[in-house]
Structures are given as C-alpha cells and as structure tokens.
Amino acid sequence: MDIEHIYAQYLSHPQICTDTRNIVPDSIFVCLKGERFDGNQFALTALDQGAAYVITENSALADNPRCIVVENSLETLQQLAAYHRQQLSIPVIGITGTNGKTTTKELVSTVLAKKFRTAYTKGNLNNHIGVPLTLLSIKPSDEIAIVEMGANHPGEIADLCAIARPNYGLITNVGKAHIEGFGSEAEIVHTKKALYRSVIGDHGTLFVNINDQKLRDGLDYDKVVYYAEGGEDNIVSMSPYLRIRVAGHEVDTHLTGSYNIYNFLAAAAVGRFFGVSDKQIAEALGQYEPSNHRSQVNKIGTNVIISDYYNANPTSMEAAVRNLAKLDHPHKLAILGDMRELGPVSREEHLKIIQLCEEMHLKAIFVGSEFSAHHPEQCYPDAEALNEALKAQPVSDSLILVKGSNSMHLDKLTALLQ
C-alpha cells in the first residue's frame, strides 16, 4: 500500500500508537522493532485492544483487512509524518541544542499558547521516532507547531529536518555531549547546524543567541532574529529561583540556574516575532513550572533540592556547579552522578568537574564509577549506596544540587527526595 493510501487511513484515524500498554481506541498502531522488543508480535493484540488498523512487517497478516503490511514499519511511520508535514501550511519551529532544548521548547510553547492553538513535542520525544509522532499529532485546528530535535550521532538533525521541514529554527547552544557517538565537538556543531541549513534552504527565519559565537560563526543570512542582548545582565536575582528582566517586565520564574536566562530570552524573542504581546510573554514565563527534573526546585524537609538529574554532560554539569556556587546559602552541597556517552574524553571531563568543585569551594558527593576513578573517598557506586549513607548521616538545612545522567537513577535518592 502506498503512502497516500496509508495517509487516507490516518485521516480517518488520526491517532498513532506504538505501545500496546497505551492503546487509544480507533487509533493506528505502528509495530516498531528495537534491540529488545518486536512490536510485530503484538499486532493482533493491538487490534483486540481497540486499534482500528495496524502497520506491521508481518507478512502472515497480509490477508487481515485491518493490517497494513509494509517492508519497514519505522520508515513507513517517518514517510507518513513527512507526507502529513507537506499538507501543513502552519509555521513549524524546529528547536535543537546540546542543553536547554526541552526547557526552551516548553517555554516557547507556553508563550505562543497565549495567542495560538499550539502543537508541540511532548516530553522529550525528539528522536527518529518521537519527531514523526509529534508531527502526526498536529491537528487541522492547530495554528503553530514546535518540534524538538535531538541527536547523538552525526547526521541525525539533517535526517529529522528532512521529515519535519521546519521553516523556523532555534539552536539553544552547542556543547560537549554524546562525544562517544559524534567523535568530536566539531562534528556536534556541524550536526546541530543542519537545522540552520534546512531552514535557510526553505527561506525561513532563524532565532540566534547574539552572545554565542559558535552559532554565529559562518552564518551569512539575512532572515535572522538575534536575541539575548545583555545575557545574564537580565537576571535580577536568584533565590534560588530566577527573577529576570524580559519583554519590559520583571518576572518571578519557577526555574533556577543562571544558564536558563538564555532559554527565557529565546522564548521571548520567538513570542515577539509572532506577535505575542510583552505582557502576555511575561505572564507565560512566570506561569511556566518545570516538572521534568530540569532545574526544578523543591523544598523537602529542611533542605532545598535543585533537581537537575534528567541528563548531564560536561557543559551542563559545569553550568550547574557554577550556578550553585553563585547562590546565597550557608550550607551548599553538590551530589553529582556520572556523565555518560563521553567516550575517550570521559576520564578527563569527570576530573574537570571534580577540580571545578574544589575551585568553587563546594562540598560535593560523587556517584558512579567514572567519578570514583578520581575521587574514591568521596564517591558511591550508585544511588542505593548513597541512600544508605544519607540515612545514617542525614543532610539538613542545606541547598543541594542533584545532577547526573538519567541512567545514574539519582531519582532514587529517597533519603533526600521524598
């Protein structure tokens, strides 16, 4: 069945599912395969649970009128999303970057929602599966879309842009992350800037941080909106929440971290470009509350916890440590977990973070084998071991940064995080 015929079925059943645990009635279930699972084994289960159709690679189901048999389910999903994108005439804003892309995406969507019916990437569904699912979630009534794009290997942003075809683009920053997959920081820059190349090829508009030389280098294009003039000078105070000056207003936010000022200023720039009033921009930025363990602040017992353990890389880890050092509190503690996917530079980058904590005179506890290679006396192998130590010697009346790669499971620090 060609993509036009599959698209006709999608228009009648415009809900895509990929997990039988979350089947939506009258949806289309796409059987995806991974290293540890094969959705094709659950095609009939999906139909039994209410799916209208199934896209599957299982040729044995070819005679089932509710099964659409294809050679590659993932490629079909991507082709379907690309075809749907071609039918859309609304602005599509692509957002990528090493750090801050999810927060920026959420801030941008919060601002634009003041004026438009807005579709946007849910959670961090920003890869070769998530981007197609985001595009296919865009409804005829939506007036603008924000698509987050992530990458951990060369060429991935270009591939995602070929599907999403963004006509507006924003790169939050480019730093050290997934070095193991990219091979070099130069390759990270080239991969991320594929978003710029795609938007320029479509004669679209770019939003660029005027203070970021990496993003400005080689950018010879006339449809650019520069933002973030003044940079961190737009921070009024940190307590630890940011109070910022933006769009002619002072705004009390629900985020911590001086590095987040650029995410706020990016959202304000996008909002202004699309005609959201300064008052509405300020309201939106003040209303946004994180719920994803990114620069999230919680008062737990006598401690204030900065939860920033969704992910970590050398750039974001350094920014978080420096931010903690700036905050005014008599008792500060950094609990830092290993940074993953750094390849041959891992040992060097973990040592730099240890040295930074010493330079900032910050008390620190390290979690994971990469940190323990340098600092075994202040390191625990995992969150469970640290939990036991914290139960024996509780921390109180402290401002605590908890940051590390998601795979370090720092969310399991129940001695602190309950």
Domain positions in the chain are 3-70, 88-287, 296-417
Q: Could you tell me the fold of the domain covering 3-70?
A: 3.40.1390
What distance in Å separates the CA atoms of residue 334 and residue 323, rounded to the nearest whole number?
11
More confident residue, 296 or 142: 142
More confident residue, 181 or 315: 315
pLDDT of residue 376: 75
User: What mean pLDDT is predicted for residues 164-190?
Assistant: 83
153-171: per-residue pLDDT in tens?
Answer: 889 999 999 999 999 999 9
Per the structure block, which two tokens stand in for 241?
């929440």
pLDDT of residue 65: 96
- The closest of 416, 380, 384 to 400, measured between CA atoms, is 416
Residue 355 neighbours by CB distance under 10 Å: 11
What distance in Å separates the CA atoms of residue 263 and residue 102, rounded to the nearest whole number?
10
What distance in Å separates the CA atoms of residue 413 and residue 391, rounded to the nearest whole number?
10
- Give the chain's mean pLDDT: 94
Query: Which amino acid is it at 417?
Result: L
Per the structure block, which two tokens stand in for 411?
């969310």
pLDDT of residue 205: 98
Torsion over CA: 196, 110, 280, 90 (sign): positive
Secondary structure percentages of the chain, helix, strand, coil, to 5: 45, 20, 35
pLDDT of residue 206: 98
User: What mean pLDDT is predicted for residues 259-273?
Assistant: 97
221-248: per-residue pLDDT in tens?
Answer: 999 999 999 999 999 999 999 999 999 9
Query: Which amino acid is it at 276?
Result: V
Residue 231: CB partners within 8 Å, gap ≥ 6? 211, 261, 262
- In the sheet that holds 332-337, the strands lie side by side as 296-300, 303-308, 399-403, 332-337, 363-367, 379-380
pLDDT of residue 110: 98
Per the structure block, which two tokens stand in for 37?
């699972």
Class of the CATH domain delimited by 88-287:
alpha beta
pTM above 0.75, yes or no: yes
The beta strands (E) that lie in 173-300 are given as 205-209, 224-227, 235-238, 241-246, 249-256, 296-300
Torsion over CA: 181, 186, 191, 195 (sign): positive
User: What mean pLDDT is predicted for residues 41-59?
Assistant: 96
pLDDT of residue 295: 83
Class of the CATH domain delimited by 296-417:
alpha beta
pLDDT at 103 over 90: yes
Instruction: State the chain's maximal CA–CA distance in angstroms.
Output: 71
- Residue 148: phi and psi, rounded to 5, are -85, 140
User: What mean pLDDT is predicted for residues 353-367?
Assistant: 96
What is residue 157's three-state secondary structure?
helix
Asked which of 260-264, 289-293, 305-309 is least confident by mean pLDDT, the reply is 289-293
Asked whether 379 and 402 are in contact (CB, 8 A), the reply is no
Judge residue 8's burial from the number of C-beta atoms within 10 Å of its C-beta, 0-12 exposed, 13-18 middle, 19 or more buried. Answer: exposed
- Local confidence band at 179 (pLDDT 50, 70, 90 cut-offs): low
- Local confidence band at 181 (pLDDT 50, 70, 90 cut-offs): low
Percent pLDDT > 90 in the chain is 84
Tell me the C-alpha to C-alpha distance, in Å, between residue 187 and each of 3, 150, 179, 239, 379.
34, 14, 9, 38, 33
β-bridge pairing 296-300 and 363-367? unpaired
- The closest of 207, 210, 277, 228 to 249, measured between CA atoms, is 277
Asked which of 72-81, 181-190, 273-282 is least confident by mean pLDDT, the reply is 181-190
80-96: per-residue pLDDT in tens?
Answer: 999 999 999 999 999 99
